[in-house]
Amino acid sequence: MNNKIIKKIGRYVPALFVLRTLLFRIAPTAYADINDPLKGATIQSLIDKIGAAIYDIAIPIAVIIIIYAGILFLTSSGDPTKVGKAKKALWYAIIGLAIVFIGKGFVSLIKSILGAQQ
């Protein structure tokens, strides 16, 4: 082996040893008190929270994509490729919104059929 490589490895070994020692001494105490991430929630409430988060994120993203598609339409200057790109972006935003709305309605429908609380 080359002496330069051995010297480089020799520089990092003490630092890795110290890091390993610190991690093994700190890690058990850091994980001793693990809180329940669901906070005693049920699977139903977890699914509701995930669905609400997706809904809250999807609406602004769709609005941004629709605005982007409008800007593409305005700046296309009649170029068929840019107009096609704008139409595709608008179409995908509308399809995404439809999926989000239908998904939310589908979850509500299943809940009402099963008699779950709203």
Q: DSSP states of the chain as a string? A: --HHHHHHHHHHHHHHHHHHHHHHHHHHHHTSS---TTTT--HHHHHHHHHHHHHHHHHHHHHHHHHHHHHHHHHSTT-HHHHHHHHHHHHHHHHHHHHHHHHHHHHHHHHHHHT---
pLDDT at 29: 52
pLDDT for position 61: 92
State residue 53's pLDDT score: 84
Q: Which residues of the chain have pLDDT under 50?
A: none
Note the pLDDT of residue 55. Answer: 85
Query: Which residue's structure tokens are 């994120």?
Result: 57
Residues 83, 21: Cα–Cα separation, whole Å: 60
